[in-house]
A and B are shown apart, each in its own frame.
Chain A
């Protein structure tokens, strides 16, 4: 990687235009519905200039900043998965004809997205979904084509929310790889790092200068500010065994009293990848669409098999989510399923905080070990 360049504040528009000229549909953060969401943008003015977000378990509020920063906030309710793994996809259609059923798959050019403002935890999340959709025995064609066409402009965080814990998950806040370009916002503009040939091609067309030592210094300080602001931690020591060896711990019951099984945590999570596929016929039954939709382990219908749901309680669904995310994901994909973005904490209507749930589980297991009512390992099962 070459040494960082400096992109003046006014040149951000130029970057967006250059990407658009190259046929990219630029998507990035913008203010909508009282939050910073991801949507199509056509100029730097569409970004949440001068806005920030205040986050805590179960609560998100927009707030005015006292400056005009372009990227002075962290991650919101949306994630890039909505572009790479869309909420609803038409997989195939079938029509009844005189000669029998005629099957067709939609012939669509994959959209070419340029993602502007991808944070370090989100790069890690995309990397995780790559492993799920591209690197297993089955390759997901929708994801594959969209991912291959995408251009990534990362942004280094210069502040953190109370819900961020990327440092515990070793995913941020510094963007180190897996981007085409990366920005760090400083006083009069941005430090620009180039991470790929495609990125180099775009950077060469922008009016950049070599960053001065002072600007580099400012960039370091800005990024350090994010590190310093991170308060939340998750102790991941032995987390796989902690969860998998204590599937009968009474703590699961405790969290189930609060959990609504509403599915919000999984759908805001940038790594959760579950979907269900359904055949949707029209009234005549002569035309059928096969649709894939985002689904969730918290949806009671999701484990419906042989006439009844396999996970027939909130407790078993919460446990499934947490043990998969933090434990069995490691067995399945070789990493944790959590990147520490904090979305599931903020967007849980009742503010259930997974870092606190892990801590509570540790404590409960210790208490159980010290008490006489310890459950012997033989009694443990994977599902209740």
Chain B
């Protein structure tokens, strides 16, 4: 860095209900890690360093969703000591895979899983961070794309707007020259309604996109699912496509609920 007197922003990383994969993406930035460490002062990142400095922090990365009363309280505290909050990953931005409990009775789960469920204090739902506090940036993905993570950090450090395109995965497929698996092979693909960010990985390995990055801007899930149903894909295949890491993202949630209704209507007709 040429400007050694530039004050380095203090970075914190907080974890809520999640698998750690997203924060590990930061440690995964091998080649760029030194540049990151140069650009920011890592003040609180338990996964990476046992030195934990108190707030306030300039940039706070939040991973994970809110699933317990304790976390619902803790996130307020994180907001209080953070200037800019960036939520990272599907859990933090949409509720994550654990939001499948939003469709079930969580008490049943507790009884199934824990020998002494009375010791467990949990909420009935898994919700994204933005449902609880004001969030400055959301970084999608399960896990986040490390290039995008670096882009956001770089932008915040250098005082510019992060470049995070909100178009469909299809645009990335086409730029790469990947042949559409939906059109050429009839593989149901969520790419047309899914937010860019992964670099269109799945279609380049002959599989359909399953929506890790959540809904693209103004996505038309209804048209896409209708098309798949009309061309013979069954609901049992489509439902888990929409109901996984971003199940509780509003557009995917509505689409999967609609599919279920369709299934019920069809069942009633039979």
The answer, yes or no, to whether A78 is at the interface (CB within 8 Å) is yes
CB within 8 Å for A349 and B154 given contacts A96-B2, A261-B220: no
Find out whether the CB atom of B183 lies under 8 angstroms from the CB atom of A347: yes
Q: Taking each of A33, A87, A88, which has the highest tally of chain B beta carbons within 10 Å of its own beta carbon?
A: A33
Find out whether the CB atom of B39 lies under 8 angstroms from the CB atom of A283: yes
Find out whether the CB atom of B184 lies under 8 angstroms from the CB atom of A260: no
Find out whether the CB atom of B171 lies under 8 angstroms from the CB atom of A260: no
Which listed residue, B167, B185, B224, touches A299 by the CB 8 Å rule? Answer: B167
The answer, yes or no, to whether B153 is at the interface (CB within 8 Å) is yes
Stretch of A16-24, A58-66, A178-186 on the interface side: A58-66
The answer, yes or no, to whether B218 is at the interface (CB within 8 Å) is yes
How would you classify the secondary structure of chain B's contact residues: helix, strand, loop or mixed? helix
- Cα-based distance from A35 to B165 in the complex (angstroms): 28
Find out whether the CB atom of A299 lies under 8 angstroms from the CB atom of B171: yes
Find out whether the CB atom of A257 lies under 8 angstroms from the CB atom of B223: yes
B residues 141-177 near A (Cβ < 8 Å) are 150, 153-154, 157-158, 160, 163, 165-168, 170-171, 174-177
The answer, yes or no, to whether A377 is at the interface (CB within 8 Å) is no
Find out whether the CB atom of A263 lies under 8 angstroms from the CB atom of B174: yes
Find out whether the CB atom of A33 lies under 8 angstroms from the CB atom of B227: no
The answer, yes or no, to whether B35 is at the interface (CB within 8 Å) is yes
The answer, yes or no, to whether B38 is at the interface (CB within 8 Å) is yes
Which listed residue, B1, B2, B180, touches A347 by the CB 8 Å rule? Answer: B180
CB closest chain-B residue, reference A96 = B2
The answer, yes or no, to whether A150 is at the interface (CB within 8 Å) is no
The answer, yes or no, to whether B107 is at the interface (CB within 8 Å) is no
- Cα-based distance from A285 to B151 in the complex (angstroms): 11
Find out whether the CB atom of B193 lies under 8 angstroms from the CB atom of A260: yes
- CB contacts (< 8 Å) of A286 on chain B: these are 1-2
The answer, yes or no, to whether A148 is at the interface (CB within 8 Å) is no
Stretch of A115-123, A126-134, A210-218, A274-282 on the interface side: A274-282
The answer, yes or no, to whether A69 is at the interface (CB within 8 Å) is no
Per-residue contact bits, chain A 314-342, to B (CB 8 Å; 1 contact, 0 not)? 10000000000000000000000000000
- Cα-based distance from A299 to B217 in the complex (angstroms): 9
The answer, yes or no, to whether B179 is at the interface (CB within 8 Å) is yes
Find out whether the CB atom of B183 lies under 8 angstroms from the CB atom of A296: no
- Cα-based distance from A372 to B77 in the complex (angstroms): 62
The answer, yes or no, to whether B32 is at the interface (CB within 8 Å) is yes
The answer, yes or no, to whether B96 is at the interface (CB within 8 Å) is no
Min CB–CB distance B227 → chain A (angstroms): 5
- CB contacts (< 8 Å) of B218 on chain A: these are 261, 300, 312-314
- CB contacts (< 8 Å) of B165 on chain A: these are 299, 301
CB closest chain-A residue, reference B180 = A347
- CB contacts (< 8 Å) of B174 on chain A: these are 87, 263-264, 267-268, 294
Find out whether the CB atom of A351 lies under 8 angstroms from the CB atom of B227: yes
Find out whether the CB atom of A58 lies under 8 angstroms from the CB atom of B2: no
- CB contacts (< 8 Å) of B160 on chain A: these are 281
Find out whether the CB atom of B35 lies under 8 angstroms from the CB atom of A284: yes
CB within 8 Å for A260 and B2 given contacts A87-B174, A281-B154, A300-B218: no
Interface size on B, as a range, is 35 or more
- Cα-based distance from A246 to B220 in the complex (angstroms): 24
Which listed residue, A37, A58, A88, A298, touches B175 by the CB 8 Å rule? Answer: A88
The answer, yes or no, to whether A77 is at the interface (CB within 8 Å) is yes
Find out whether the CB atom of B154 lies under 8 angstroms from the CB atom of A264: no
CB closest chain-A residue, reference B36 = A283
CB within 8 Å for A260 and B163 given contacts A33-B178, A58-B227: no
- CB contacts (< 8 Å) of A347 on chain B: these are 180, 183
Find out whether the CB atom of B192 lies under 8 angstroms from the CB atom of A283: no
A residues 331-380 near B (Cβ < 8 Å) are 346-351
Min CB–CB distance B5 → chain A (angstroms): 15
Q: Taking each of A59, A259, A301, A351, which has the highest tally of chain B beta carbons within 10 Å of its own beta carbon?
A: A301
- CB contacts (< 8 Å) of A382 on chain B: these are none
Find out whether the CB atom of A82 lies under 8 angstroms from the CB atom of B2: no
- CB contacts (< 8 Å) of A349 on chain B: these are 170, 180, 182-183, 189, 192, 224, 227
Find out whether the CB atom of A314 lies under 8 angstroms from the CB atom of B220: yes
The answer, yes or no, to whether B219 is at the interface (CB within 8 Å) is yes
- CB contacts (< 8 Å) of A313 on chain B: these are 218
Find out whether the CB atom of B192 lies under 8 angstroms from the CB atom of A284: no
Find out whether the CB atom of B183 lies under 8 angstroms from the CB atom of A58: yes
- Cα-based distance from A58 to B184 in the complex (angstroms): 9
Min CB–CB distance A209 → chain B (angstroms): 39
Find out whether the CB atom of A34 lies under 8 angstroms from the CB atom of B224: no
Min CB–CB distance A145 → chain B (angstroms): 21
- CB contacts (< 8 Å) of A33 on chain B: these are 178-179, 184, 206
- CB contacts (< 8 Å) of B170 on chain A: these are 262-264, 267, 349
- CB contacts (< 8 Å) of B153 on chain A: these are 283
Residues of B within 8 A of A (CB): 1-2, 32, 35-36, 38-39, 150, 153-154, 157-158, 160, 163, 165-168, 170-171, 174-180, 182-186, 189, 191-193, 206, 217-220, 222-224, 227, 231
15 residue pairs A–B, Cβ–Cβ below 8 Å:
A33-B179, A58-B183, A78-B177, A257-B223, A261-B218, A263-B171, A283-B32, A283-B153, A284-B1, A295-B171, A298-B167, A312-B218, A347-B183, A349-B180, A349-B189
Question: 8 additional contacts, CB 8 Å, given A33-B206, A350-B227?
Answer: A82-B177, A280-B163, A281-B160, A283-B32, A284-B1, A284-B35, A285-B158, A314-B218
